[in-house]
Chain A
Amino acid sequence: MRQASRLPGPGARPAGQGASRSIRGLSAAAAVLTVLLVVACLAFIFAESVNEQLFQAGTPLTGSLWRLLGVSLITSAAGALAALPVALRAGAYLAGRPDSRTTRLLVRFIDTASGVPTVVLGLCLSILVLPLIAADQSLVQTPFVPGIAISLGNFVYLLPHMTDIFRRRAAEVPRLAGAGALALGADWRQTVGFLYLPASRKASTAAFAAGLARGVGQTMITVLLLIAFGRSASGSAGTLTSAILGAARQSLEPGTPEYSATFLFGLVLLLCTGGLNHLSRKLGRGADL
């Protein structure tokens, strides 16, 4: 009764108008500030990366940009491609499981695993790699070994994340469709293979794009593995992120080609990951039913 008496009723002036106006003004100010901050950050990266010396023919820095981008994309794509079939099966299996305590626990487990910091995974891989290097020093000199190790790191890093994406998408398949398939005599394997997997076609592309973006954007797995292999951060096995980190560790003078190149790497990284994430969001909306 007390609550009902506080309501102004239809036709009356809405309650709390003054407070609403103040909060609306404050939140509008916060929104404007946040958007301005974001625009300023993006504009700053763009402005700092513009340096005419970078685009002169034969500049080694622009040459290294393509190499770093190539290594970033190849190692991420290799990790994401290797993780794709495993994540697809695991995600579809989780989505097809009946809702039970065990299922919820497994989902939480995958969610937690996808949030493990890259510095932790990088350290684990370093711990595993170091005895191998100690046993066979030629591994350090072999050209593709650090790249393979980084791809493996990306695989371990991306697997839970991509599984989680698949599970969410496959869970959008109406549960009654699964129950119907089972009622008509299909077993679990057939339900997953003929219902959940075909319904996740777009989700596979979305998860691959998201995985690629995450792999390109991760830093510490690459950096710690490069340290273990004794390679330079911007050397032949370096990626965009490791090169940015390596360059920032030296005291760079603003306006120099090296400083601008670091921001150019950042700009390319921003466009690459932003584009891939956008693609992933576009493709990942809903199941293909």
Chain B
Amino acid sequence: MKKPPRPSVGEVSLGLVIGLFLAALLVLLASSLGLQAVDAAGHVLKTWDLASSVFERAGVEAWQSEHAPQSQLVLAVHLVPGTASSLLASLAILVAALAVALPLGFGTALYLGHFAKRSRLRNLATGMLDFVADLPPIVIGLVVFGVFSRAGGQAEATFWAWFSAALVVALYLVPAVVRAVEVGIESVPLELRHAAQALGVGPWPVLRDRMLPEAAPVIIPGILNACARVVGDAAIMILIGSTIRTLPIDIVGLARQPEAGSMGPAAASALLLVVLMLGFRVAARIIGKNYIGARTAKPPYKQGIPGWM
């Protein structure tokens, strides 16, 4: 009998990369699921993790018959009350930050990538933005922390808490938006721009009618991926001492008290964060591929020439 082929080192390595990611998801799922004792009014009386729910079922039922015989045991995800508002707060900060970062980032990228002539100053500006784009978010957060420390720790007041949170996220997003737009514009064939200019069309109509719609499938996923990254960042929010509860802050807060059985809710919030991140990535893909692709008329060089090739 012929032996099945042995997996190559590459296959094993790839399996390890994928396996670790799946294992992390499995750990989160196993920690966030478990039995809950729920009374008639729907209040959760006690929760158990998945291991206890499966392997110590007798103990769980003993607790129920002793302490709350009227309650029901249900298998559920251990979300703490207020998770929905944390999720909304994360998204609200992101929207506010995008309102600042998009005009700034788009303007900068359009100028550096389309309008500005090649010069040392332009190269310096591009290099500087590249340098900042890869910096850890905590460095950006440190600036806002310093500014608010100088201003007397106003981040604790509600308006300042929202303002500082949006500001720090916007500062972090601007280089990412610039990079996404620059890469998008670079992805459009230069011949298209030259042909339009040769036909007497000005820079702005070329950009508006051809280059931006063509580049949109690259720009929008780039921005959405940056959003996915920033929405999961806890460090900058903790650093500025924001009083706003976002999902990552919730996770860290719950992880600080593991003996109180808060790892289950923390894992549930983390799972929600992963789902949110995946949502951004899927949206990026759908918008990039289908929506914009369907709305934009294909230029002749993409339609192909009949009878050729």
Contacts and interface: CB of A to CB of B under 8 A. Distances in A.
Interface of A: 7-17, 19-20, 22-24, 26-31, 33-35, 37-39, 41-42, 44-45, 48, 85-90, 92-94, 96, 106, 108-113, 115-124, 126-128, 130, 156, 159-160, 163, 188-189, 192, 213, 216-220, 223-224, 227-228, 241, 244-245, 248-249, 251-254, 259, 262-263, 266, 269-270, 273-274, 277-278, 281
5 contacts: A8-B199, A23-B207, A44-B143, A93-B14, A117-B248
Contact of A115 (B10, B13, B204, B229): B229
Contacts of B263: 123, 126-127, 130
A163 B232 contact: no
Contacts of A89: 9-10, 12-14
Contacts of A31: 107-108, 111-112, 116, 125
A36 to B, nearest CB: 10
Contacts of B142: 45, 244, 248, 262-263, 266
B105 A269 contact: no
A207 B270 CA distance: 28
Contacts of A14: 197, 200-202
A87 B9 CA distance: 11
A38 B175 CA distance: 9
Contact of B8 (A13, A45, A188, A259): A188
Contact of A116 (B24, B198, B267, B285): B24
A189 B8 contact: yes
Contacts of B125: 31, 35
A287 to B, nearest CB: 17
Closest 3 CB pairs of A and B: A30-B107, A93-B10, A117-B232
Nearest to A109: B18
A247 to B, nearest CB: 10
A41 B143 contact: yes
A269 B278 contact: no
B129 A38 contact: yes
B48 interface: no
Contacts of B277: 112, 115-117
A42 B17 CA distance: 36
A117 B276 CA distance: 11
Interface in B22-66: 24, 27-28, 31
Interface stretch (B74-82, B132-140, B158-166, B301-309): B132-140
Interface stretch (B91-99, B186-194, B251-259): B251-259
Contact of A30 (B20, B106, B238, B239): B106
A39 B128 contact: yes
A24 B203 contact: yes
B273 interface: yes
Contacts of A33: 104, 108
Contacts of B255: 122-123, 126, 224, 227-228
A216 B20 CA distance: 21
Nearest to B28: A124
Interface string B221-245: 0000100110011110011110000
Contacts of B12: 89
A160 B17 contact: yes
A90 B24 contact: no
B11 to A, nearest CB: 6
B178 interface: yes
A30 B104 contact: yes
B115 A28 contact: yes
Given A23-B110, A227-B256, A13 B200 contact: yes
B103 interface: yes
A278 B107 CA distance: 25
A30 B14 contact: no
Given A34-B104, A123-B255, A128-B27, A92 B10 contact: yes
A112 B281 CA distance: 8
A27 B149 contact: no
A73 B146 CA distance: 25
Chain A CB within 10 Å — which of B107, B136, B201 has the most? B136
Contacts of A270: 135, 139
Given A12-B200, A248-B145, A270-B135, A34 B129 contact: yes
B234 A248 contact: no
B13 A93 contact: yes
A193 to B, nearest CB: 9
A91 B231 CA distance: 28
Given A27-B107, A117-B248, A228-B258, 4 more contacts: A17-B202, A119-B270, A217-B139, A273-B139
Given A93-B8, A123-B266, A266-B142, A117 B273 contact: yes
A38 B132 contact: yes
A22 B115 CA distance: 12
A245 B249 CA distance: 13
B174 interface: yes
Contact of B149 (A8, A9, A163, A254): A254
B88 interface: no
